[in-house]
Amino acid sequence: MKQKISLLEKIIDDSIRKVLKDYQPRTLFDPAQYILSLGGKRLRPLLTLMAADLFGKDPEDVIDAALAVEIFHNFSLVHDDLMDKADLRRGYPTVHKKWTENSAILSGDALVIEAYRYIAKVPVDVLPDILELFTTTAMEICKGQQYDMDFEQRMDVTEEEYIEMIYLKTAVLIGCALKIGAIIAGAATEDADLLYKFGINIGLAFQLKDDLLDVYGNPETFGKKIGGDILCNKKTFLLIKCLKNASDEQRVELNKWLTATAYDPEEKIKFVKNIYDELNLKFIVENLIEKYYLASLDFLSSINIADDRKRNLITLAENLMYRER
């Protein structure tokens, strides 16, 4: 598994270094190359290659589609960081901080255009299906981002609304990445759909795990400061559940922290985390993560491929669910 993943990651990294390399003017394309160079998990392009491999296709034959997914993902990060006024991405200055807000807007636009240039390179016989899937997913991600921004102004966000938001903002691109690889590899429609549903459930569990790590992760392994979501009052599943389950006394105190404009950041994190602990929210979210994880394995097991060929995807899913960063 490890050797296989390392090989696929090398294919991705070698290819990403060539994206936008010789384009001019560099004032437009340097910021775009910068965000691509920051790395990250490369989860989405990796899943595209693994999906193709699952159905017997050489991963090299789907690298353009995998790059399209990764380029689009990074476009969304550039614009998300700008909208969130984030200072850091993967431990480095965000594009709008290193350059300007205008640079972030325009280089983000260039990335999404380049993503479509790469998706157009897929075999012509599957291009209509893949283009429809890719475009539908792109629009869904925009919807998810809008819901996320809408939630900033609301205190009555429900658990169901939150799951729908992360479904759109995070899970659909993971499902799309897998299904694209399956389609190019010639998988049966039913199997491609099952792999998509596997990805959707992994994506939901993945985002919930991120929410959990932001509060309960180890700063040394998580890679960023713990409690960022708490400090910006982000409507994560934890906060939504907390607002729903808190006692009247807890809710009054919590609202004081949520509406405060001047406070000690460490004190706020400590207070909110203590309420989460009192309400046993870590356990509740861990159970929800497990629910989506097990659902993903059910969809994967239903695919008409020998179980031994699914081992790499199962191991990757396990690593994502039990990761510390």
**Predicted confidence (pLDDT) per residue in 107-149, tens digit:** 999 999 999 999 999 999 999 999 999 999 999 999 999 999 9
User: Which amino acid type is present at position 127?
Assistant: L
Cβ burial of 166 (10 Å; 0-12, 13-18, 19+) is buried
In this predicted structure, the answer to whether residue 275 has a pLDDT above a threshold of 90 is: yes
Task: Quickly state the pLDDT bin for 2 (edges 50, 70, 90).
Answer: confident
DSSP annotation of 306 reads -
pLDDT class of 222 with cuts at 50, 70, 90 = low
Three-class SS state of 297: helix
pLDDT at 162 over 70: yes
At residue 224, does pLDDT exceed 70?
Answer: no
Lowest pLDDT segment from 18-22, 89-93, 307-311: 89-93
Residue 1 has pLDDT above 70, yes or no: no
CA distance 1 to 316: 9
The predicted pLDDT at position 223 comes to 57
Domain ranges of the chain: 2-321
Q: By percentage, how much of the chain surpasses pLDDT 90?
A: 89
What pLDDT is stored for residue 198 in this prediction? 98
Q: How is domain 2-321 classified at the CATH fold level?
A: Farnesyl Diphosphate Synthase (1.10.600)
In the chain, the percentage of residues whose pLDDT exceeds 70 is 98
- Lookup: tokens for 178: 């897998």
β strands within the chain, DSSP E? 88-89, 92-93
> How confident is the model over 263-275, as a mean pLDDT?
96
Q: Mean pLDDT of all residues in the chain?
A: 95
Burial profile 56-81: b = 16 or more Cβ within 10 angstroms, e = fewer: ebebeebbbbbbbbbbbbbbbbbbbb
Residue 218's pLDDT band, with cuts at 50, 70 and 90, is: confident
Higher-confidence residue of 321 and 282: namely 282
User: Which residue type occupies 40?
Assistant: G
Q: Which residues contact 8 (CB under 8 A, 6 or more apart)?
A: 46, 49, 50, 53, 59
Look at residue 91 and tell me whether its pLDDT is greater than 90: no
The CA-CA-CA angle for residues 154, 235, 84, to 5°, reads 90
Omega before residue 25 within 30° of 0, cis: yes
* pLDDT confidence of residue 191: 98
Query: What is the C-alpha to C-alpha distance for residues 157 and 321, in angstroms, rounded to an integer?
Result: 25
CA pseudo-torsion sign 242, 291, 201, 193:
negative
- Residue 279 vs residue 319, higher pLDDT: 279
d(CA 231, CA 111): 31
Q: Which residues contact 45 (CB under 8 A, 6 or more apart)?
A: 12, 66, 67, 69, 70, 177
